[in-house]
Structure 1
Amino acid sequence: MHDLTGFQRDLLYVVAGLDDPHGLAIKEELEDYYESEIHHGRLYPNLDTLVDKGLVDKGELDQRTNYYTLTRRGTRELEARRDWEAQYADLS
C-alpha cells in the first residue's frame, strides 16, 4: 500500500464500501468527497493500476459496464493501513 497515491487509496476505500460498484458509482462517491469533478482519464487508469497490483478485481456486467471488488489482498492492505493509522491517531 505504501506505493499507492492518496487517490488510489481513496479508490480502495470506496470499492470496499460499496457492493460491486461500477465505475460511475465510484466516480460519484469520489466527486462527493472531493467536491470536484473526477475525469474518466484519472479514474479508470488508477482503477486499472489497482487491478494490476492485485488489490481489486474487475468483472464485466455487460459490454459497456465493469464492476469492481476488493481482493483478499486489498482487504488485508486496507486493514494494515487502518492499524498503521491507529497507532498515530487515536480518534476514539
Structure 2
Amino acid sequence: MATLTGFQRDLLFIVAGKTNASGQEIKDELEKEYSGEINHGRLYPNLDTLVNRELVEKGTIDRRTNSYDLTGEGYEALENHREWEDQYFS
C-alpha cells in the first residue's frame, strides 16, 4: 500500500464497497468524493495498475464494459492499511 498513490488507495476503497463495479460506477463515486470530473485518462490507467498488482480483478460485463472486484490480496492490503491508520487516529 505504501507504493500506491492516494488516488489508487481511494480506488481500492470504492471497489471494496461494490460488487462487479463498472468503471463508470467507480468514476461516479470518485466524482462525488473529489467534487469534480475524473477523466478516463486518469481512471483507467490507475485501475490497470491495481489489476497488475493483483489488488483488483478485472472482469467483463459486456463487450464494452469491464467489471472490477477486490481480490483477497487487495482486501488484506486495505485491512492492513486501516490497522496502520488506526494507531494514529484513535
TM exceeding 0.5: yes
Identity %: 59
Question: Shift of residue 19 of structure 1?
Answer: 1.7
Q: What stretches of structure 2 of length at least 5 have no aligned partner?
A: none
Report which of the two has the higher share of strand.
Answer: 2
2:21 corresponding residue in structure 1:
21
1:49 corresponding residue in structure 2:
49
Give aligned pairs, total. 90
Question: Shift of residue 52 of structure 1?
Answer: 0.2
In the TM superposition, 1:1-92 aligns within 5 A as 1-90=1-90
Distance in 2, Cα, partners of 1:5 & 1:17: 19
> What is the root-mean-square deviation of aligned Cα atoms in Å?
0.4
Structure 1 length normalisation: TM-score? Answer: 0.97
Structure 2 length normalisation: TM-score? Answer: 0.99
Q: What stretches of structure 1 of length at least 5 have no aligned partner?
A: none
Cα-to-partner distance string for 1:36-90 (whole Å, 9 max, x where unaligned): 0000000000000000000000001111000000000000000000000000001
Letter matched to residue 26 of structure 2: I
